[in-house]
Structure 1
Amino acid sequence: MARLELINLNKTYSPKVVPVKDISLDVDDGEFLTLLGPSGCGKSTTLRLIAGLEEPTRGKITIGNTDVTNARPGDRNIAMVFQSYALYPHLTVYENLCSGLKLQKVPSAEIKQRVDSAASVLGLDAGLMNRKPGQLSGGQRQRVAVGRALVRRPHVFLLDEPLSNLDALLRERVRADIKQLFAAQRVPVVYVTHDQTEAMTLSTKVAVLNNGYVQQLDPPERIYSHPANQFVAGFVGSPQMNLLTLPCQGRFAMLGDCKINLPELSTVPPQIVLGIRPENVRIPQPGDTQIIHGQVFLVEHLGMHNLVSIKVNSSLKEDITVRALLPTDQRWSDGDISLALAPQSIHWFDVQTGDVFRREKVRV
């Protein structure tokens, strides 16, 4: 077992620059953890701390039962795949694949066996082995970079936005390859990206980071269905979740002229943030009670759905905009529209803190 564990990990460059703040998490054999977040949230710094390319200001890193907090990068038995591929331009594909093994003084016969095995898995045919990186496509260079990590047979794999330099179609294909490939490795994998599609499709669990803190650590399906706070709710999901700051009256939040049942709260605040994903705003069905009325002002065609934006009828001075994913078999043009909110899909957040209000009981 080569379990990776981060314990209260902190990195401080100056009192005002603290990219990693007391991060604690673990990754077991066979788990694929993605560090997801916007630029500057601390995800790449965390990866560099694990790799030993940065020294933590405070905290502990263990691999298996070994404390590697102060160990040199070469002594951690970690393989890293970089965004820029980091291939040696003067070496052939074969030489790039075996470069790390030669430094480890692995016997020649074993080097050939490992390289041939990795090349077969990655679809790098014999005709590519004598080419140099400049003669390869972006996808082929990425496969060589992954192959160089695979032949190392490390305790932990680290991948730093490895797909960001690929075009959309190639990124989708390589993403599927990476998912199958690392599922078979049975060692901890830590993957850094700002692309939520990569995070949701590749991972067994996701750590959403913001301002150096872990906002939520959960399987991807729970990150999507039960966001821990308003930041996670707004960052994960495309199209983005509707997040509406609404006034409260009695036991209701007022969305235009629609009264929406609040969760059971000990004290009802003057305002609350309602979150609902566009796919949960629908054409009214029999029995729906939480129905909003408004006017269509924008229709965006997304292939299988239309993303329809409406301005909700309201007596408030500020316009309230709600977006809905609606079928393409109807025409959605400027004019009046009524839509229903699926009550079981509503999320509630504190206006001040952004934290979620737990919904153990909901009035329906």
Structure 2
Amino acid sequence: MAKLELKNLNKTYNPKVVPVKDISLTVDNDEFLTLLGPSGCGKSTVLRMIAGLEEPTRGQIKIGDVDVTHKRAADRNIAMVFQSYALYPHMTVYENLASGLKLRKVPSTEIKRRVAEVAEILGLGELMNRKPGQMSGGQRQRVAVGRALVRNADVYLLDEPLSNLDALLRERVRADLKQIFAAQKVPVVYVTHDQTEAMTLSTKVALLNDGYVQQLDPPARIYNNPANLFVAGFVGSPQMNLLTLPCQGRNAMLGNFQVPLPDLPTAPPQIVLGIRPENVRIAQPGDTQKIRGRVYLVENLGMHYLVSVRVEGSQTGAITVRALLPIDQNWSGEDITLTLPPEDIHWFDVQSGDALVRRQMLGVRG
């Protein structure tokens, strides 16, 4: 058992190309950490440095109590699953699974035992004599995962392993991966730009942008308590409403409607109000925080309509608020009154983008 530690990791190619600026994090035993972020955020570079495929410019990588920062990849006891499967096309499934162990001169009886164990876990028993060209994409991906599992590694690294699969197969293999790696009891680091994969697979998510960790938390906290505007806008589909509003006294002005500000030392001239479309509801008697506007766009998402409502204001002009509403009514062209529950509102600083109030301070779990 060994935990993975990254301390002040930096990778600089030249003064204008610095994909990883300063990243520190720890992945304990039993933790599945996903590095999530847009293209160019530094997540794949971090994974390659952990694997020993890239040399850090600065910083330290430790596995357990061992500093592996400058060790060769072959000396780190790390297993990696690649996006491209990386299987030998001329070898059978059994030979692909056993190849890494043979290179390490593991005794043949031990190879047979480990391969049989992994084949049982992954349901590969009937495929052992097939070659990659005779298998589906999902089957090939399971073999690629199997090649990593037979290693009994200290750390497992997965580089967008589902991106080559179609949507239905991706969902099925994603569920398999969650069960498989939960049983390994070692640190797992997974790279993806797909927030659904990050939210469903992970025990922790590190959301990266511009070479820094923007937030490191369990998925529910990432979703319910975004640390800043980038996190709030990146995680969630449909995207959170993020509205830059002027302030008057202790209220933010959304169109001609007042939204009470949170308890801040001083009221800023402007503030960003964030609220997820699923938290915007049709107003009911007794609701205190109401706004009114006209529907100008309705998108059918199957279980809900994503309804865009234009709220007019003399100071702010037209502001668009999106809400997920029931499909039992035709909302097109309607004037509707919505409510913004205070406990579901996020507030952000206009200049820094940082969250001004975290939701647990308002009594909301997350």
TM-score class, shorter-chain normalisation, is over 0.9
The 10-residue stretch of structure 1 (114-123 or 202-211) with the greater mean CA deviation from structure 2 = 114-123
Distance apart, 1:317 and its partner CA: 6.0
> How much has 1:324 moved relative to structure 2?
0.3
* Aligned residue number for residue 262 of structure 1: 261
Q: Which runs of 5+ in 2 are unaligned?
A: none
Aligned partner of 2:139 in structure 1 is: 140
Listed one character per residue, the Cα deviations across residues 30-55 of structure 1 (whole Å, up to 9, x for unaligned) are 10000000000000000000000000
Match of 1:76 in 2: 76
Q: Tell me the secondary structure at the aligned position of residue 244 of structure 1.
A: strand
Paired position in structure 1 for 2:219: 220
What secondary structure, in the 3-state scheme, does the structure 2 residue paired with 1:357 have?
A: strand
CA distance in 2, matches of 1:9, 1:147: 30
Q: After the TM superposition, which parts of structure 1 deviate over 4 Å for at least 4 consecutive aligned residues?
A: 359-362
Aligned amino acid, residue 151 of structure 1: V
Select between 339-348 and 129-138 the one with higher mean Cα deviation: 129-138
> Deviations for 1:75-116, whole angstroms, at most 9, x for unmatched residues?
000000001111111211111111110011111111111111
- 326-335 vs 78-87, which moves further: 326-335
Indicate the residue corresponding to 1:34 in structure 2. 34
Closer, same or farther in 2 for the Cα pair 1:140/1:5, shift >3 Å? same
3-state secondary structure, aligned to 2:321: strand
In the other structure, the counterpart of 1:334 is 333
Distance (Å, rounded) in 2 between the aligned partners of 1:314 and 1:239 = 25
- Give ranges in structure 1 of 5+ residues lacking alignment: none
| Residues 295, 334 of structure 2: 8 Å contact kept | yes
Residue 343 of structure 2 aligns with which residue?
344
Distance in 2 separating the partners of 1:229 and 1:264? 18
1:113 corresponds to: 113
1:19-58 to 2 correspondences below 5 Å? 19-58=19-58
Q: CA deviation at 1:361?
A: 7.1
Contact 1:263 1:361 in 2 (8 A): no
**8 Å Cα contact 1:264-1:361 kept in structure 2:** no
- Measure, in 2, the Cα distance between the counterparts of 1:261 and 1:20: 40
Contact between 1:304 and 1:328, CA under 8 Å: does it hold in 2? yes
Mapped contact 2:9–2:58 kept (Cα < 8 A)? yes
How far did residue 315 of structure 1 move?
1.8
Contact 1:252–1:262 at 8 Å: present in 2 too? yes
- After the TM superposition, which of the residue ranges 141-150 and 297-306 deviates more from structure 2? 297-306
TM-score, with length taken from structure 2: 0.96
Corresponding position of 1:62? 62
Q: Does the Cα contact within 8 Å between 1:77 and 1:154 map onto a contact in 2?
A: yes
| SS of the residue 2:6 aligns to | strand
Q: 1:254-333 alignment to 2 at 5 Å?
A: 254-316=253-315, 318-333=317-332
**1:90 maps to amino acid:** H
The answer on whether the counterparts of 1:138 and 1:166 sit within 8 Å (CA) in structure 2 is yes
Q: Which amino acid aligns with 2:177?
A: I
* Residue type at the aligned position of 1:111: I
The superposition leaves residues 281-340 of structure 1 with CA deviations (integer Å, 9 ceiling, x where unpaired) of 001123212111111111111122111111112224643111101112222121211110
Q: Which amino acid aligns with 2:323?
A: A
| C-alpha separation in 2, matches of 1:322 and 1:170 | 35
Distance 1:63 1:281 in 2: 45
Do the aligned partners of residues 120 and 18 (structure 1) sit closer, same or farther apart at CA in structure 2, a change above 3 Å counting? same
Mapped to 2, the partners of 1:94 and 1:299 lie a distance apart of: 53
Residues of 1 paired with 2:361 and 2:40: CA distance? Answer: 37
Alpha-carbon separation, structure 1, partners of 2:39 and 2:317: 31
Q: Summarize deviations over 1:206-231 as a string: whole Å, max 9, x none.
A: 00000000000000000000000000
| SS state at 1:175 partner | helix
- Sequence identity (%): 77
Whether the 8 Å contact between 2:245 and 2:316 is mirrored in structure 1 is: no
